[in-house]
A and B are shown apart, each in its own frame.
Chain A
Amino acid sequence: MKPARVMLVDDTPSRSALLEQALLDQGLTVVCRLESAQGLIKNVEVHQPDIIIMDLESPDRDTLENMTVLNQHNPKPVIMFSDEEDSKIISQAVQAGVSAYIVDGLNPHRVKPILDVAIARFREYQALRKELKQTRDQLADRKIIDKAKGLLMKTKGLDEEQAYHTMRKMAMDQSKPLADIAQNILSVMELLTP
């Protein structure tokens, strides 16, 4: 059995690189990676993929859907899942942001593992993005807190521990995150400073 030929359309290169590697590890062939639907139809003709995986958030999806109409009478791309039975995996795919189109003839049993990999990688990417954002937010929070602390030390003549303790107490009393308190302090001080 020849390895399935996969084409990826995703405007996030780092994500599609991640997915490509995972598919290669599974012994699949990634015939083409596109960042937009520009030249999509031509690329499908040239590369003859068995399955096309596309980012759900791409507005170019409707362009790809048209191929299913254009090629209705030819053994060409058709959207997958014509049955309702796979609804769970479809739901997972939609959740993860994956859409997939199979070319007529690819056995549904061979589709599922490919889709599973795609879903897993898209999720992993989502998680990475989230983690990165959290780290960035934490760093930004850290900066704000340090700045507010410095300001309190300067204006109130507190030492570092006292300044931190004051903010901490305010955060607990008002049940607000420490970074919000720090931001408030900075805003108020800015207002009061001529």
Chain B
Amino acid sequence: MNGAEVERRALKLGYMPLSDCLPLLVAQQEGFFEKEGLEVELLQEVSWSNIRDKVIVGHLDGAHILAPMILASSIGLGGLKKSLITAFSLGLNGNALTVSNTLHSELFELNSREFDQASNMKRLIEQRKAKGLPALVFATVYPYSCHNLQLRYWLASVGIDPDKDIELVILPPSQMVDHLKLQHIDGFLAGAPWNSVAILQGHGHCLLTGVDIWQDAPEKVLGVTLEWAEKNPNTHYALIRALYNACAWLEDNAALALPLLEQHLSLNSPLIDQECLIPAITGDYIFDNNQLQSKAPGILIFNRFMANFPWLSHGQLICSQMKRWHWLPQDIDSEALVASCYRPDIYRQAFSSLGSEDITLPSDNFNQQHLALL
């Protein structure tokens, strides 16, 4: 334990059963919370809306939460208006787009050599329209999510209007595979392990990963209310250090964490076994059940490449995309909104007593590369 005494020892943290909740599980199991003087109770939740509401009303001290939700809640989009902040990113990337077997073969019949399936998708959508067929249906996990923003970004890159040319629905991650199997949806963009579940069970093919859309993408963050952070600064620092240590541990020992992840993810999902957790965690990814695995080492990053730093540029990227789809008013001051939600100052403060050999801190809070894709 280092730093000043924590204001609160007993904390309740919420998480959704997804592979990228691992830093919380590991911090608990490997004693990183305890080392910082924290007694943490982890609570599994069933929806992102629940996580947000429970953090806002104070039933949870903090949570594994979607990065765009922090911005959305801070201005009252889609729910309660309450200032939420993040000073810690739980990692980078993790998402993938999986399509049904039918859609996959239709796309490859059009052009099997086309690497970028986006233009094939556009041709297919146009053909379907000409034939009077219903629009393709794609699912993501929450409206204000990087999943939704990435899918929209990818579709729009070839001129597909995600609000007109396809139907976009929201489904809980755990229901994606069933809906794909039952052909209620033609594809989904979700996080690990749900793409691997669909692929390994033979219900879909991974068309591309999130990294193919946005490199070093923001995904889940540690979210707390501004009020909580102001009341419990030392607790917040301790929490950040504990999670950082868990993320660093995961970078070298991810495979060791598989039983722990399985134990928590299979609680409410009979579809989860260890096999489906392996691809995203180890980077030995399987895109198609009939093919050999490929190396996709950056598919889910827990710690390297300064993955835990709450980059203002990540906030800006999300903000720019939320504006693009008219979820944010066009005249909103994005810089001010991001600065109020993304708090690299707190992250830096948490590590202020450590030397540069223990942690690498960037010289700038902004990484221009994150905005290169705009």
- Cβ–Cβ contact B79 & A79, under 8 A: yes
Which residue numbers of A lie inside 8 Å of B, CB to CB? Answer: 56-66, 68-69, 72, 79, 81-84, 87, 90-91, 94-95, 99
Q: With an 8 A cutoff between CB atoms, is B33 at the interface?
A: no
Of A57, A65, A72, A91, which one neighbours B79 at CB under 8 angstroms? A65
- Cβ–Cβ contact B81 & A83, under 8 A: yes
Q: With an 8 A cutoff between CB atoms, is B174 at the interface?
A: yes
- Cβ–Cβ contact B54 & A66, under 8 A: no
- Cβ–Cβ contact B50 & A63, under 8 A: no
- Cβ–Cβ contact B49 & A82, under 8 A: no
Count of chain A to chain B residue pairs whose CB atoms are closer than 8 Å in the complex? 77
| A68 CA to B327 CA, complexed, in Å | 11
| A69 CA to B48 CA, complexed, in Å | 15
Count of B interface residues, CB-CB < 8 Å: 29
Contacts of B78 in A (CB 8 A): 65, 68-69, 79
A-B contacts besides A63-B171, A84-B80, 13 pairs, CB < 8 Å: A58-B46, A59-B47, A59-B175, A61-B47, A68-B78, A68-B79, A68-B143, A79-B78, A82-B80, A82-B81, A83-B81, A94-B53, A99-B53
Q: With an 8 A cutoff between CB atoms, is B371 at the interface?
A: no
Question: CB-nearest residue of chain B relative to A95?
Answer: B59
Q: With an 8 A cutoff between CB atoms, is B169 at the interface?
A: yes
- Cβ–Cβ contact A63 & B169, under 8 A: yes
Question: CB-nearest residue of chain B relative to A92?
Answer: B57
Question: CB-nearest residue of chain B relative to A65?
Answer: B49
Contacts of A72 in B (CB 8 A): 326-327
Q: With an 8 A cutoff between CB atoms, is B141 at the interface?
A: yes
Interface residues of B in 173-214 (CB under 8 A from A): 174-175
- Cβ–Cβ contact B54 & A63, under 8 A: no
Question: CB-nearest residue of chain B relative to A60?
Answer: B172
- Cβ–Cβ contact A62 & B47, under 8 A: yes
- Cβ–Cβ contact A91 & B57, under 8 A: yes
| A148 CA to B48 CA, complexed, in Å | 48
- How far in angstroms is the closest Cβ of chain B from A176? 26
- Cβ–Cβ contact A90 & B50, under 8 A: no
Question: CB-nearest residue of chain A relative to B78?
Answer: A68
Question: CB-nearest residue of chain A relative to B326?
Answer: A72
Contact with A along B12-55 (1 / 0, CB 8 A): 00000000000000000000000000000000001111100110
Best-surrounded residue of B47, B48, B54, B174 (most CB of chain A within 10 A) = B47
| A82 CA to B56 CA, complexed, in Å | 12
Contacts of A59 in B (CB 8 A): 46-47, 172, 174-175
- Cβ–Cβ contact B170 & A63, under 8 A: yes
Q: With an 8 A cutoff between CB atoms, is B342 at the interface?
A: no
Of B82, B143, B175, which one neighbours A66 at CB under 8 angstroms? B143
